[in-house]
């Protein structure tokens, strides 16, 4: 089955569906006590659960009333409070139980609303259990999990019914669990916060994957007091089902009162590219910044298909797929010492190990040292003594491992700066050191956003990733520009910037600060993105040397936004930084290193960082308004940052 556009879609950021309520949903285990299990809203007071007999927490009696019976009637309660807690029921199930709980709720829902039932499709939704059984060797790990999950679900349901006789098999449970694994999406409730999973009806679940998709989706959380009956109309549905007519006939696409929960997180599909009438509408199931082989493995193991989208089936790999796997930049004299599969795998293993060691509470300092050493030298050997002048970067700066590494380094440097400040509140020397660590964190953040932006200009479906990175870079640039200033008014800096830059004015109105509502066509979008790249690249020329000065790896990156230099330059990379600025003068009022940089120049540095920050935030906000709508939490977050917390004040009346 697939979904196709039922009309031509000219603009980006258009809702292709109304808000679709879920069929089943569940919070991840770690959010069971911090978020409402009915509406997924964060609990202001987790101690005042209106239904203390339930293991789940609710924000109000209304939410408890809506959801509690599903919790008990589905067997979820028995699973959580008896089976998973008791040594009497040993299990090999490891980790989060949200898929199991969502499957119990879905199975209960099917019992209440019986529909068509085939081995691989229940009430219209595909289950990949049969396909996994056919290739049981290839999907061994997945099958073992489905089997164990089915066993636990079956135990919970029999315990619910007090019926331990007549037990044959767990086919229904396994099929529905496999259905959840095939169709569920993770529910993102705010920037960077994903709290659970949800399964939707065919209007969403029949949308296939593409590595170059034309649509994305966003969520809408409906508060407890809102009666959840208004779930859109067929007229607002701009996509229609295509495939087996028998299946289409038997399933009501949207307004299926027998098929929807009428509460819980709702989903809305949005266009991110122009779409022709009749063209298939696709979203992405996986991280689009991964190289083709990794995407392929992911999709095969989790969704049991081989992707033949335009990006995957291109005769020549697309530019993005090529650079994500580029070994080195030989035209820059960068080394090429890992071009065999063997050495590459070994190196990738080192990277993964360093990153997971850091993520499992390793030292941020060791992580920075290891990762940067690897970016330059290729392998980490603590005892290896190498003359630094002999080193040259081993990795292409746009290689996917480099991009992953920038993410980790931006975070690790930030943590080091915060730790230092927290441990030594008063000492000025530590403040300077912390400033240095912060500016390196900001530099990696900018490099990450710039690298992803460069790829996004060739592959516009990377929009949501680019949006997140620009917003976090803008945020960290503003924080750095604010360093040791308490009285800065962001609104006034923004107003000054708006007066000077027509691009900012455009972004600000597109993002929805002003009242008029327009949607971007592809041409407008490309014009804005090109204008942004030029503007930001120009400002970066001044700011980048300040952020990277004295840094062993970053000094090799000539421009963090416009990567044209990778193709064109043959000059020695170190020669790029002819003008030196003093980073420490930037952070204190009295020049601490006696370099003699004039006060006016120092102010110039600070204002450059501000300008850059405001550009990044507004552009990120503009992308967020396309992906998630003008009133999403991410654009609200950007507004707060720019207004200094005063979200109520409109920038332009
Ligand atoms: C959420 S469902 C999408 C709707 C599904 N095609 C159906 O008939 O119900 C996910 C499943 O659809 C199939 N699928 C999704 N995207 C695909 C693609 N690009 N190529 C082939 N199969 C795909 C896979 O079997 C996957 O497990």
Tens digit of each residue's pLDDT (9 = 90 or more) over 251-288: 765 555 445 667 899 999 999 999 999 999 999 999 99
Residue nearest to atom 8 of ligand 1 (CA): 1
| In contact, 275 and 281? CB cutoff 8 Å | yes
**Could you tell me which residues come within 8 angstroms of residue 379 by beta carbon, excluding any fewer than 6 positions away?**
346, 347, 350
To test ligand 1's pocket by mutation, which of 4, 119, 208, 288 has the most ligand atoms within 8 angstroms of CB? 208
Q: What is the pLDDT of residue 486?
A: 55
Q: How far is the CA of 260 from the centre of ligand 1 (A)?
A: 22
- In this model, does residue 590 exceed pLDDT 60? no
Query: For residues 494 and 481, what is the distance between their CA atoms, to the nearest angstrom?
Result: 13
Q: What is the pLDDT of residue 587?
A: 32
Q: What is the pLDDT of residue 574?
A: 29
At 579, the pLDDT band (50, 70, 90 cuts) reads very low
Pocket of ligand 1 (CB under 6 A): 1-2, 126, 128, 182-183, 205-206, 208-210, 303-305, 307, 309
Average pLDDT over residues 368-380: 79
Q: How far is the CA of 210 from the centre of ligand 1 (A)?
A: 10
Angle between helices 522-548 and 428-458 (to 10 degrees): 150
- In this model, does residue 147 exceed pLDDT 80? yes
Residue nearest to atom 15 of ligand 1 (CA): 208
Q: How far is the CA of 129 from the centre of ligand 1 (A)?
A: 13
Average pLDDT over residues 610-634: 90
Q: What is the pLDDT of residue 167?
A: 63
What confidence tens digit (pLDDT) does each residue in 27-49 have?
999 999 999 999 999 998 776 76
Query: For residues 647 and 378, what is the distance between their CA atoms, to the nearest angstrom?
Result: 47
Task: Select the highest-mean-pLDDT range: 37-46, 133-142, 430-439, 598-607.
Answer: 133-142
Q: What is the DSSP letter of 281?
A: P
Q: How far is the CA of 209 from the centre of ligand 1 (A)?
A: 7
Show me where the domains of the chain are located.
1-22+200-284, 323-643
Task: Select the highest-mean-pLDDT range: 244-248, 328-332, 444-448.
Answer: 444-448
Q: How far is the CA of 148 from the centre of ligand 1 (A)?
A: 24
Angle between helices 490-500 and 599-628 (to 10 degrees): 90
Q: How far is the CA of 285 from the centre of ligand 1 (A)?
A: 10
- For the ranges 253-267, 308-322, 383-397, 573-587, which has the lowest average pLDDT? 573-587
- In this model, does residue 203 exceed pLDDT 80? yes
**Could you tell me which residues come within 8 angstroms of residue 551 by beta carbon, excluding any fewer than 6 positions away?**
440, 443
3-state secondary structure 92-122: CCCCCCHHHHHHHHHHHHHHHCCCCEECCEE
Query: For residues 267 and 213, what is the distance between their CA atoms, to the nearest angstrom?
Result: 17
Mean pLDDT across the chain, nearest whole number?
Answer: 82
At 582, the pLDDT band (50, 70, 90 cuts) reads very low
Average pLDDT over residues 469-478: 94
What confidence tens digit (pLDDT) does each residue in 152-168 have?
999 999 999 887 766 66
To test ligand 1's pocket by mutation, which of 126, 205, 211 has the most ligand atoms within 8 angstroms of CB? 126
- In this model, does residue 298 exceed pLDDT 70? yes
Q: What is the pLDDT of residue 503?
A: 72
pTM to 2 decimals? 0.88
Atom in ligand 1 nearest the alpha carbon of residue 202:
9
Q: What is the pLDDT of residue 435?
A: 87
Q: What is the pLDDT of residue 206?
A: 96
Task: Select the highest-mean-pLDDT range: 205-214, 482-491, 556-565.
Answer: 205-214
Q: What is the pLDDT of residue 572?
A: 34
Domain topology for 1-22+200-284:
Beta-clip-like (2.170.270)
- In this model, does residue 223 exceed pLDDT 80? no
More confident residue, 592 or 519: 519
Residue nearest to atom 14 of ligand 1 (CA): 208
- In this model, does residue 9 exceed pLDDT 50? yes
Q: How far is the CA of 582 from the centre of ligand 1 (A)?
A: 55
Q: What is the pLDDT of residue 396?
A: 82
- In this model, does residue 596 exceed pLDDT 50? no
- In this model, does residue 228 exceed pLDDT 70? no
- For the ranges 323-327, 368-372, 422-426, 608-612, which has the lowest average pLDDT? 422-426
At 553, the pLDDT band (50, 70, 90 cuts) reads confident
Q: What is the pLDDT of residue 646?
A: 45
Average pLDDT over residues 608-619: 90
- In this model, does residue 234 exceed pLDDT 80? no
- For the ranges 157-171, 329-343, 412-426, 500-514, which has the lowest average pLDDT? 329-343
Q: What is the pLDDT of residue 158?
A: 92
Length of the chain: 653
- In this model, does residue 584 exceed pLDDT 50? no
At 354, the pLDDT band (50, 70, 90 cuts) reads confident
Q: What is the pLDDT of residue 497?
A: 63
Closest CA to 80 of 93, 95, 97: 97
Residue 319 to residues 272, 289, 297, 323: CA-CA distances in angstroms?
20, 12, 21, 6
At 578, the pLDDT band (50, 70, 90 cuts) reads very low
Query: For residues 358 and 139, what is the distance between their CA atoms, to the nearest angstrom?
Result: 31
- For the ranges 327-341, 467-481, 526-540, which has the lowest average pLDDT? 327-341
Average pLDDT over residues 52-81: 90
- In this model, does residue 511 exceed pLDDT 60? yes
Q: What is the pLDDT of residue 3?
A: 97
CB neighbours (10 Å) of residue 83?
A: 21
Q: What is the pLDDT of residue 600?
A: 39
At 250, the pLDDT band (50, 70, 90 cuts) reads confident
Atom in ligand 1 nearest the alpha carbon of residue 1:
8
Q: How far is the CA of 96 from the centre of ligand 1 (A)?
A: 24
Query: For residues 395 and 397, what is the distance between their CA atoms, to the nearest angstrom?
Result: 6
| In contact, 204 and 26? CB cutoff 8 Å | no
Q: What is the pLDDT of residue 260?
A: 64
Q: What is the pLDDT of residue 329?
A: 53
What confidence tens digit (pLDDT) does each residue in 210-222 have?
999 999 999 998 7
Query: For residues 653 and 34, what is the distance between their CA atoms, to the nearest angstrom?
Result: 38
Q: Is the ipTM of this complex over 0.95?
A: yes
Structure tokens at 483: 């360093």
In this prediction, what percent of the chain has a pLDDT beyond 90? Answer: 50
């Amino acid at each position: 089955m697939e979904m196709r556009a039922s009309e031509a879609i000219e603009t980006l950021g258009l809702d292709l569906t109304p808000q679709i309520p879920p069929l089943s949903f569940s919070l991840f285990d770690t959010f069971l006590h911090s978020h409402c299990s009915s509406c997924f809203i964060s609990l202001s007071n987790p101690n005042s659960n209106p239904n203390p007999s339930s293991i789940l927490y609710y924000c109000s009696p209304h939410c408890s009333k809506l959801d509690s019976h599903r919790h008990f009637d589905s067997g979820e309660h028995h699973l959580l409070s008896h089976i998973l807690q008791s040594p009497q029921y040993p299990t090999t199930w490891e980790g989060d139980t949200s898929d199991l709980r969502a499957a119990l709720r879905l199975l209960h829902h099917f019992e209440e609303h019986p529909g068509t039932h085939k081995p691989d499709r229940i009430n219209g939704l595909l289950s990949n259990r049969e396909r996994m059984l056919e290739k049981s060797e290839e999907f061994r790990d997945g099958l073992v999990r489905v089997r164990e999950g089915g066993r636990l679900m079956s135990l919970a349901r029999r315990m619910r019914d007090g019926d331990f006789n007549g037990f044959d098999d767990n086919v229904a449970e396994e099929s529905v669990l496999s259905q959840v694994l095939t169709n569920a999406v993770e529910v993102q409730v705010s920037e960077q916060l994903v709290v659970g999973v949800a399964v939707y009806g065919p209007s969403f679940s029949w949308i296939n994957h593409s590595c170059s998709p034309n649509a994305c989706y966003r969520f809408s959380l409906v508060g407890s007091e809102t009666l959840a009956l208004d779930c859109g109309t067929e007229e607002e549905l701009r996509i229609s089902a295509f495939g087996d007519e028998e299946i289409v006939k038997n399933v009501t696409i949207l307004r299926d009162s027998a098929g929807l929960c009428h509460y819980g997180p709702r989903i809305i599909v949005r266009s991110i590219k122009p779409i022709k009438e009749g063209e298939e509408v696709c979203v992405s199931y996986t991280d689009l910044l991964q190289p083709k082989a990794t995407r392929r493995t992911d999709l095969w193991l989790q969704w049991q298909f081989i992707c033949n989208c335009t990006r995957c089936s291109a005769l020549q790999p697309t530019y993005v797929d090529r650079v994500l796997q580029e070994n080195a930049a030989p035209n820059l004299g960068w080394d090429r010492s890992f071009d065999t599969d063997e050495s590459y795998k070994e190196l990738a293993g080192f990277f993964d190990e360093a990153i997971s060691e850091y993520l499992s509470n390793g030292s941020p300092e060791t992580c920075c040292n290891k990762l940067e050493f690897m970016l330059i030298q290729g392998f980490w050997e603590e005892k290896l003594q190498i003359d630094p002048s002999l080193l040259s970067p081993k990795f292409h700066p746009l290689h996917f491992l480099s991009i992953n590494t920038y993410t980790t380094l931006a975070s690790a440097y930030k943590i080091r700066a915060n730790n230092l400040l927290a441990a030594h509140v008063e000492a000025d020397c530590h403040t300077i050191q912390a400033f240095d660590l912060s500016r390196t964190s900001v530099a990696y953040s900018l490099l990450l956003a710039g690298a992803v932006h460069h790829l996004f200009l060739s592959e516009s479906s990377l929009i949501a990733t680019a949006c997140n990175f620009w917003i976090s870079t803008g945020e960290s640039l503003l924080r750095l520009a604010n360093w040791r200033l308490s009285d800065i008014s962001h609104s006034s800096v923004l107003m000054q910037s708006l007066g000077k830059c027509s691009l900012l004015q455009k972004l600000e109105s597109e993002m929805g600060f002003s009242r008029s509502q327009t949607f971007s066509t592809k041409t407008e979008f490309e014009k804005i993105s090109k204008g942004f790249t030029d503007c930001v690249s120009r400002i970066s020329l001044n700011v980048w040397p300040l952020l990277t000065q004295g840094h062993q790896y970053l000094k090799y990156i000539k421009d963090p936004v416009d990567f044209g230099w990778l193709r064109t330059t043959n000059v020695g990379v170190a020669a790029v930084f002819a003008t030196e600025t003093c980073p420490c003068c930037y952070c204190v009022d009295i020049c601490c290193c006696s370099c003699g940089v004039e006060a006016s120049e120092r102010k110039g540095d600070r204002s450059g960082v501000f300008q850059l920050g405001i550009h990044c935030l507004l552009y990120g906000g503009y992308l967020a308004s396309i992906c998630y709508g003008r009133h999403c939490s991410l654009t609200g977050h950007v507004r707060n940052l720019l207004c200094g917390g005063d979200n109520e004040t409109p920038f332009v009346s």
